[in-house]
Amino acid sequence: MRHRSKSKTESILRRCYNRAECQARFRNEEWQVSWDHWYMSWMYNDNYLNKGRSNTSLIFARKDLSLPWSDSNSEIVVRLDYLRKSAKRECFWKYRKTLQKQ
């Protein structure tokens, strides 16, 4: 039976949740995030209103990339902050690889 959403916002977020889950599986990342956690994370303080792709938008991200997607390993963050953190992490690993070659 098809799931019936209670509101337009919930319907849109349900679609976003399904896409996020499919995208994680496509990247071979384990997905253990519950719908309730995902939904409440976006609804808290109306975070869903700032969801998007711009630098100041909010995204749903993993705290630790070595762990699977889960309720305890995910959070809503500002996209630009997350990208900066990811870039620093990537630079560190590239630098470490060059040291190992020497």
Q: pLDDT per residue over 76-91, tens digit each?
A: 999 988 888 877 776 6
User: What gap in Å lies between CA 78 and CA 22, rounded to an integer?
Assistant: 22
Q: pLDDT per residue over 7-65, tens digit each?
A: 888 899 999 999 999 999 999 999 999 999 999 999 998 888 889 888 899 999 999 88
Task: Tell me, yes or no, if the pTM score tops 0.85.
Answer: no
| In the chain, domain spans | 8-101
Give residue 15's pLDDT: 94
Give residue 1's pLDDT: 45
- Residue 40 has a CB neighbour count (10 Å cut-off) of 12
